[in-house]
Amino acid sequence: MGLGYGVLGIMPNLLTNFGRRFWWGAVLFMTLVLIDGSMNLPAFGQAESPAASGGKLFQMRCFVCHGRDGKGHGPSSNDLAEKPQDFTDGSWQRATPDDQLRKVIQGGGLAVGRSDAMPPNPDLTPDQISALIAYIRSLAKTGG
């Protein structure tokens, strides 16, 4: 009984230590983002289409890296170790399922084995992430 308990006890401890570091990083990052964006946080009204509210969110906290047009040339993109994807690229759109977008947006690049240059967004609700995905999908239709 004692052994089984001990083995099971180790796993959550490891996870907790990793989790703590991860969450503190995320909390610090989000605090900076919120301070920066607190003057113009969008209201998620029912009247707006998901793509429209996703677009507002994107122009607030994603454009610095992904660019206003989603092509990956945001003002901070030159400093990144990994270059952001061009969201208007149709073949990338077809090759990338919604599930994958959801994981990357929520958990950051590390959540799908990619670069941590893509930060996690643990504060976003499932609806907000769906809105961002709808917006990203809309870029392929209009973009070149």
Q: Report the residue from 42, 109, 122, 143 that binds ligand HEC according to the rule CB under 6 A.
A: 109
* Among the listed residues 63, 102, 100, 103, the one whose alpha carbon sits nearest the alpha carbon of residue 84: 63
Interacting stretch for ligand HEC, rule CB under 6 A, among 7-15, 16-24, 39-47, 96-104? 96-104
Q: Using the rule CB under 6 A, is 49 a contact of ligand HEC?
A: no
Q: Using the rule CB under 6 A, is 121 a contact of ligand HEC?
A: yes
3-state secondary structure of 37: helix
Residue 24, amino acid: W
C-alpha to C-alpha distances, 35 to 2, 118, 121, nearest whole angstrom: 48, 20, 15
User: Contact at 8 Å (CB) between 97 and 112?
Assistant: no
Q: Using the rule CB under 6 A, is 82 a contact of ligand HEC?
A: yes
Q: Using the rule CB under 6 A, is 105 a contact of ligand HEC?
A: yes
* Among the listed residues 129, 126, 104, the one whose alpha carbon sits nearest the alpha carbon of residue 117: 104
Which residues are near ligand HEC by CB under 6 A? Answer: 58, 61-62, 64-66, 76, 80, 82, 84-85, 96, 100-101, 104-105, 109, 114-115, 117-119, 121, 132
